[in-house]
Homo-oligomer: A and B are copies of this chain.
Protein backbone atom coordinates (compact mmCIF):
# COMPACT_ATOMS: atom_id res chain seq x y z
CA UNK A 1 0.00 0.00 0.00
CA UNK A 2 1.38 3.39 -0.94
CA UNK A 3 1.18 5.68 2.07
CA UNK A 4 1.37 9.13 0.55
CA UNK A 5 -0.75 12.08 -0.52
CA UNK A 6 0.19 14.54 -3.24
CA UNK A 7 -0.81 18.16 -2.79
CA UNK A 8 -2.40 19.55 -5.96
CA UNK A 9 -3.54 22.91 -4.55
CA UNK A 10 -2.90 24.99 -1.44
CA UNK A 11 -5.16 27.74 -0.14
CA UNK A 12 -3.89 30.04 2.62
CA UNK A 13 -6.68 30.84 5.10
CA UNK A 14 -5.13 32.68 8.05
CA UNK A 15 -1.72 33.93 9.13
CA UNK A 16 -1.66 34.38 12.91
CA UNK A 17 0.84 34.80 15.73
CA UNK A 18 0.77 31.19 16.89
CA UNK A 19 -1.01 29.29 14.14
CA UNK A 20 -1.28 29.60 10.39
CA UNK A 21 -4.10 27.76 8.64
CA UNK A 22 -4.07 26.42 5.10
CA UNK A 23 -6.31 24.00 3.24
CA UNK A 24 -4.64 21.59 0.83
CA UNK A 25 -6.36 19.68 -1.93
CA UNK A 26 -4.63 16.31 -2.14
CA UNK A 27 -4.63 13.39 -4.54
CA UNK A 28 -4.82 9.96 -2.90
CA UNK A 29 -2.89 6.97 -4.30
CA UNK A 30 -6.08 5.74 -6.00
CA UNK A 31 -6.49 9.06 -7.85
CA UNK A 32 -9.37 10.52 -5.84
CA UNK A 33 -9.06 14.02 -4.41
CA UNK A 34 -9.71 15.14 -0.84
CA UNK A 35 -9.09 18.16 1.42
CA UNK A 36 -6.69 18.48 4.35
CA UNK A 37 -6.95 21.36 6.82
CA UNK A 38 -3.43 22.03 8.09
CA UNK A 39 -2.50 24.15 11.10
CA UNK A 40 1.09 25.29 10.56
CA UNK A 41 3.02 25.76 13.82
CA UNK A 42 6.71 26.61 14.43
CA UNK A 43 7.28 23.69 16.79
CA UNK A 44 7.83 23.66 20.53
CA UNK A 45 9.65 22.13 23.47
CA UNK A 46 8.60 20.69 26.80
CA UNK A 47 10.79 19.99 29.78
CA UNK A 48 10.45 17.23 32.37
CA UNK A 49 12.36 18.78 35.25
CA UNK A 50 13.19 16.40 38.12
CA UNK A 51 14.65 17.71 41.38
CA UNK A 52 17.10 15.90 43.71
CA UNK A 53 14.09 15.04 45.88
CA UNK A 54 12.44 13.31 42.88
CA UNK A 55 9.80 15.99 42.55
CA UNK A 56 8.61 17.20 39.15
CA UNK A 57 8.71 20.97 38.60
CA UNK A 58 5.39 21.66 36.90
CA UNK A 59 3.24 24.67 36.06
CA UNK A 60 -0.42 25.59 36.23
CA UNK A 61 -1.59 27.92 33.52
CA UNK A 62 -4.99 29.04 32.28
CA UNK A 63 -5.66 27.53 28.86
CA UNK A 64 -8.50 29.21 27.03
CA UNK A 65 -8.79 26.24 24.67
CA UNK A 66 -9.49 24.02 27.70
CA UNK A 67 -11.56 26.64 29.51
CA UNK A 68 -9.55 26.20 32.71
CA UNK A 69 -6.08 26.03 34.22
CA UNK A 70 -4.15 22.86 33.37
CA UNK A 71 -1.27 21.15 35.15
CA UNK A 72 1.57 20.76 32.62
CA UNK A 73 5.30 20.37 32.35
CA UNK A 74 7.04 23.65 31.41
CA UNK A 75 6.77 24.17 27.65
CA UNK A 76 6.90 26.81 24.97
CA UNK A 77 7.10 27.63 21.30
CA UNK A 78 10.38 27.82 19.39
CA UNK A 79 11.44 31.30 18.42
CA UNK A 80 12.55 31.97 14.85
CA UNK A 81 15.83 30.09 14.29
CA UNK A 82 16.04 28.92 17.92
CA UNK A 83 17.51 25.47 18.67
CA UNK A 84 15.22 23.20 20.73
CA UNK A 85 17.94 22.76 23.40
CA UNK A 86 18.27 26.53 23.89
CA UNK A 87 14.50 26.97 23.86
CA UNK A 88 14.13 24.33 26.57
CA UNK A 89 16.60 26.10 28.90
CA UNK A 90 14.94 29.46 28.20
CA UNK A 91 11.40 28.21 28.82
CA UNK A 92 12.39 26.29 31.97
CA UNK A 93 13.91 29.43 33.44
CA UNK A 94 11.11 31.76 32.30
CA UNK A 95 8.39 29.54 33.67
CA UNK A 96 9.98 28.18 36.87
CA UNK A 97 12.99 30.35 37.72
CA UNK A 98 15.21 27.24 37.58
CA UNK A 99 17.90 26.24 35.14
CA UNK A 100 19.35 22.78 34.51
CA UNK A 101 22.88 21.42 34.86
CA UNK A 102 21.90 18.52 32.59
CA UNK A 103 19.47 18.62 29.69
CA UNK A 104 18.89 15.41 27.68
CA UNK A 105 16.59 14.88 24.71
CA UNK A 106 13.76 12.39 25.41
CA UNK A 107 11.96 12.35 22.04
CA UNK A 108 10.49 14.55 19.32
CA UNK A 109 6.82 13.90 18.56
CA UNK A 110 3.83 15.38 16.76
CA UNK A 111 1.04 16.49 19.08
CA UNK A 112 -1.92 16.31 16.68
CA UNK A 113 -0.59 15.04 13.33
CA UNK A 114 -4.07 14.75 11.83
CA UNK A 115 -4.10 18.53 11.32
CA UNK A 116 -1.13 20.23 13.05
CA UNK A 117 2.50 20.43 11.90
CA UNK A 118 3.59 21.09 15.49
CA UNK A 119 6.59 18.93 16.42
CA UNK A 120 7.35 18.92 20.16
CA UNK A 121 10.86 18.26 21.42
CA UNK A 122 10.79 16.78 24.91
CA UNK A 123 13.76 17.06 27.29
CA UNK A 124 14.73 15.70 30.69
CA UNK A 125 16.24 18.38 32.94
CA UNK A 126 18.20 17.40 36.04
CA UNK A 127 20.85 19.09 38.18
CA UNK A 128 18.37 21.94 38.73
CA UNK A 129 19.38 25.16 40.46
CA UNK A 130 17.50 28.36 41.14
CA UNK A 131 18.70 31.47 39.36
CA UNK A 132 19.71 34.37 41.62
CA UNK A 133 17.72 36.75 39.45
CA UNK A 134 15.00 34.81 37.65
CA UNK A 135 14.29 35.77 34.04
CA UNK A 136 11.19 37.86 33.52
CA UNK A 137 8.07 35.81 33.03
CA UNK A 138 6.46 36.15 29.62
CA UNK A 139 4.19 39.18 30.17
CA UNK A 140 1.39 37.45 28.26
CA UNK A 141 1.23 34.41 30.55
CA UNK A 142 0.04 33.81 34.11
CA UNK A 143 1.83 30.77 35.45
CA UNK A 144 2.02 29.18 38.90
CA UNK A 145 4.81 26.70 39.68
CA UNK A 146 4.00 23.46 41.48
CA UNK A 147 6.16 20.60 42.79
CA UNK A 148 4.66 17.17 42.19
CA UNK A 149 6.19 14.04 43.77
CA UNK A 150 7.01 11.49 41.04
CA UNK A 151 5.14 8.87 43.07
CA UNK A 152 1.88 10.80 42.50
CA UNK A 153 1.89 10.47 38.70
CA UNK A 154 -0.21 7.34 38.26
CA UNK A 155 -2.89 8.75 40.55
CA UNK A 156 -2.89 12.16 38.80
CA UNK A 157 -3.38 10.48 35.40
CA UNK A 158 -6.08 8.08 36.63
CA UNK A 159 -7.97 10.83 38.51
CA UNK A 160 -7.91 13.27 35.58
CA UNK A 161 -5.80 15.86 37.39
CA UNK A 162 -3.12 15.61 34.70
CA UNK A 163 -4.97 16.17 31.41
CA UNK A 164 -2.15 17.22 29.11
CA UNK A 165 -0.99 14.62 26.61
CA UNK A 166 2.58 15.94 26.09
CA UNK A 167 3.12 16.02 29.87
CA UNK A 168 1.96 12.41 30.27
CA UNK A 169 4.19 11.30 27.37
CA UNK A 170 7.21 13.25 28.59
CA UNK A 171 6.94 12.32 32.27
CA UNK A 172 6.36 8.59 31.69
CA UNK A 173 9.25 8.44 29.21
CA UNK A 174 11.51 10.21 31.72
CA UNK A 175 10.45 7.88 34.55
CA UNK A 176 11.44 4.81 32.48
CA UNK A 177 14.82 6.42 31.84
CA UNK A 178 15.60 7.46 35.41
CA UNK A 179 14.32 4.14 36.82
CA UNK A 180 17.37 2.52 35.18
CA UNK A 181 19.84 4.85 36.93
Interface of A toward B, CB cutoff 8 Å: 1-5, 7, 13-14, 16-19, 21, 23-24, 26, 28-29, 32, 34-39, 41, 44, 60-66, 69-70, 72, 75, 77, 106-120, 139-140, 142, 144, 154, 157-158, 160, 162-166, 168-169, 172-173, 176
Q: A17 is contacted by which of B21, B35, B70, B165 (Cβ under 8 Å)? A: B35
Contacts of A116 in B (CB 8 A): 39, 65, 112, 116
Q: How far, in angstroms, from A83 to B168 measured CA to CA in the complex?
A: 23
A163 and B3 contact, Cβ closer than 8 Å, known pairs A18-B115, A39-B19: no
Q: Report the Cα distance A107→B169, complex, angstroms.
A: 12
| Complex interface: chain B residues within 8 A of A65 (CB) | 36, 38-39, 110, 112-117
- In whole angstroms, how far apart are the Cα atoms of A181 and B4 in the complex? 40
Interchain CB contact under 8 A, B5 and A64: yes
CB atoms of B17 and A14 under 8 A apart:
no
Structural contact, A154 and B168, CB atoms closer than 8 A: no
Cβ contact within 8 Å between B107 and A118: no
Chain B residues with Cβ below 8 Å from A3 are 60-62, 69, 142, 144
Per the bound structure, the CA–CA distance linking A45 and B175 in Å amounts to: 25
Contacts A62-B4, A65-B116, A142-B2 given; does A165 touch B163 at CB 8 Å = no
Chain B residue with Cβ nearest A140 = B34
Instruction: Assess the B117–A66 pair: CB atoms within 8 A.
Output: yes
| Inter-chain contact B62/A5, CB cutoff 8 Å | yes
